[in-house]
Structure 1
Amino acid sequence: MKTFLLTAFAALALAGPPAAIAQTAPAPTPAPAAVDADPALWVVKDDDTTIYLFGTVHVLKPGLSWFDEGVKKAFDASDQLVLEMVPPPDAVAGPAMMKIASNPTGPALSDKLPADLKAKYEKAMTDNGVPVAAFERMDPWFPGLMLSLIPLQKLGYSPDTGAERVLMKAAEAANKPISGVETFDEQLGFFDTLPEPAQIGFLRSTIDSLPRVQSVFDSMVVHWSAGDPDALGKVMNEELRETPEVGKVLLSDRNARWADWIDTRLDTPGKVFMAVGAGHLAGPDSVQVWLGKRDLKATRVAY
């Protein structure tokens, strides 16, 4: 499974789940007893500026105690929160997503799929309670999004308990400014502008990996909770690098731009808590690697 794509799509769910997901989401269950988690945290600083760099998981189950200890201390010490993107209101996000993903002209989605994939796609849609005809006029990445997120919702993963939502609520309560290094439309555009064969490949990969969603995502959360970015990076990014064109657009190029943002932000005094998807902070294309190319060092915070 392209786990990085799965978690990247999950970031878009922060703006509110699309209708097909909301209709299949289970009823809330009582939160279990808290389990301690200690995700990795880094810091980049100069004489008058401190930027904490925290890797997030966009959707989580209730019951992980991670917003404490070193993470909470760094957040409390910061003047502002910076995310990948600030999610727009549901009333804006839904129409924007549908507009960008729609394909009103040309062949229908099912006509673009090879016969074997079409059969698997129809079964996956039916199994997950989504009408097969619902996305006939959508680009292939969109049902890939839907079929990625519905199983996670059924397993109890939710953006409501994901790291970004927790951080946003804390920032709002503390009157800290919240900003994003990307926009919602920009993030949608990354997926929508992927070549159609790559989109279809993602759809196939998603469908083929549906039986393994729980084991893969649970494993990813275990590595994140243990503060093991190397193991997390292998789970999230290894398959993405098998498709260099996609990896360049969704991972390497974005990490380089975020390193530029950090470099520029160091010119302004203050303390920043920057939270981005954990897959961006692991591996040979990580934000930290790009910072090193700019003679900047991200130091792991021990806590």
Structure 2
Amino acid sequence: MKWLFPRFVTVGLLLLSGCAPERPAAARPVAQTSMVRPALWSVRDDDTTIFLFGTVHVLKPGVQWFDGGVKRAFDGSDELVLEILEPTDPQAMATTMAQAALARDGVKLSDRLSPDLKQRYQAAMAANALPWPMFEAFNPWMAGMALSVQPLEKLGYQAELGAEKTLTEAAKAAGKRVSALETVEQQLGYFAGLPMAQQVKFLDATVDGLPDMDSQFARLIRHWQRGDPERLAEEMNESLEATPELAQVLLIDRNVRWAQWIKRRLAQPGTVFVAVGAGHLAGKGSVQDQLEKIGLGSVRVSQ
């Protein structure tokens, strides 16, 4: 489930979990630039064009994706629409997350876990420089999210290089309107509303997948870079099967709502660039699938 974390996770959790500060730019190794071509789709009627672009929330240095067809589509758009707006106060967002994740029944997180999971969980937190006692007052989804993000920092991925950050800065520089499909509070609610058994299952699946995280995430990024949503969907299947209830909440249900938003937006003239996590535009149940169910077609844009 590491691919499906919403946008707020990469900002709020990195602050909340006390990650080590980034090394100064001079201390970083020089990254070789590689040109990539992520996938892009369009939905059109007589006077409206809506581009659909699948993003990744974190990237390593040296990946050049914002050119070619993606850049042309963005430049020709009047508006950028993201999952959520880039936070103006990340620390305040981290505080909001902590409040949403607080266990109201007073039960410590570790006390909710089986002896085996408790041991593996605490070992995983320690291995990733996450102080597990600090999470004892939270519900399990918060720790699962922290363990989905912190290892990526160690592997060299940076939220500052994520596609949303690049697109937001470019939109502001060009004077484009920037809006969002959801709010931070909505995204937090997806996790906070999960039954406790599903939260524990999510944490267990996350801990279990940590040894393969480097290779798994690298493959996902590679499929994104090559514009190969079919392979991306194949890589996601095992993770989705491990926690199907969370996949329904985080992926399918949101895709249905976003397809309805697109249908409504087609009633207004103009050109819109919609950028959401790439997992939403790949495989069965994708936004494209949901659009087809309501009679709207999407076309892959040639780059």
The offset of 1:252, in angstroms, is 1.1
The answer as to whether partners of 1:12 and 1:184 remain within 8 angstroms in 2 is: no
The SS at the match of 1:73 is helix
The SS at the match of 1:18 is helix
Alignment-derived partner of residue 12 in structure 1: 9
Alignment-derived partner of residue 228 in structure 1: 228
The letter for the 2-side match of 1:300 is: R
Alignment-derived partner of residue 260 in structure 1: 260
The answer as to whether partners of 2:144 and 2:202 remain within 8 angstroms in 1 is: yes
Alignment-derived partner of residue 58 in structure 1: 57
The SS at the match of 1:280 is helix
**Among 19, 30, 47, the residue aligned to 1:22:** 19
Q: What does the per-residue CA deviation read over 1:31-75, in whole Å, with 9 as the maximum and x for residues that have no partner?
A: 512101100000001110000000011111111111000000000
The offset of 1:201, in angstroms, is 1.2
The SS at the match of 1:44 is strand
Alignment-derived partner of residue 73 in structure 1: 72
The letter for the 1-side match of 2:71 is: K
The letter for the 2-side match of 1:278 is: A
The offset of 1:92, in angstroms, is 2.2
Q: What does the per-residue CA deviation read over 1:65-97, in whole Å, with 9 as the maximum and x for residues that have no partner?
A: 110000000000000100111133213201110
Alignment-derived partner of residue 272 in structure 1: 272
The offset of 1:145, in angstroms, is 1.1
Q: Distance in 1 between matches of 2:242 and 2:124?
A: 25
Distance 1:272 1:168, change over 3 A: same
The answer as to whether partners of 2:198 and 2:246 remain within 8 angstroms in 1 is: yes
Alignment-derived partner of residue 100 in structure 1: 100
The answer as to whether partners of 1:16 and 1:90 remain within 8 angstroms in 2 is: no
The SS at the match of 1:219 is helix
Q: Distance in 1 between matches of 2:24 and 2:154?
A: 9
Q: Distance in 2 between matches of 1:147 and 1:50?
A: 38
Gaps of 5+ in 1: none
- TM-score normalised by structure 2 residue count: 0.94
Q: Distance in 2 between matches of 1:11 and 1:225?
A: 22
Q: Distance in 1 between matches of 2:149 and 2:260?
A: 31
The answer as to whether partners of 1:80 and 1:178 remain within 8 angstroms in 2 is: yes
The offset of 1:247, in angstroms, is 2.3
Q: Distance in 1 between matches of 2:124 and 2:300?
A: 42
The answer as to whether partners of 2:11 and 2:90 remain within 8 angstroms in 1 is: no
Alignment length (residue pairs): 300
1:285 correspondence with 2:282: no
The letter for the 2-side match of 1:45 is: R
Q: What does the per-residue CA deviation read over 1:230-253, in whole Å, with 9 as the maximum and x for residues that have no partner?
A: 000121244314544222211111
RMSD over equivalenced CA pairs, Å: 1.7
Bigger mean CA deviation after superposition, 24-33 or 195-204: 24-33
Q: Runs of 4+ in structure 1 displaced over 6 angstroms?
A: none
- TM-score normalised by structure 1 residue count: 0.94
The offset of 1:23, in angstroms, is 2.9
Within-5 A mapping of 1:1-303: 2-5=1-4, 8-9=5-6, 11-14=8-11, 17-23=14-20, 28=25, 29-88=28-87, 89-241=89-241, 243-303=243-303
The SS at the match of 1:85 is coil
The answer as to whether partners of 1:87 and 1:184 remain within 8 angstroms in 2 is: no
Q: Distance in 1 between matches of 2:23 and 2:235?
A: 27
The offset of 1:124, in angstroms, is 1.3
The SS at the match of 1:92 is helix
The offset of 1:9, in angstroms, is 4.4
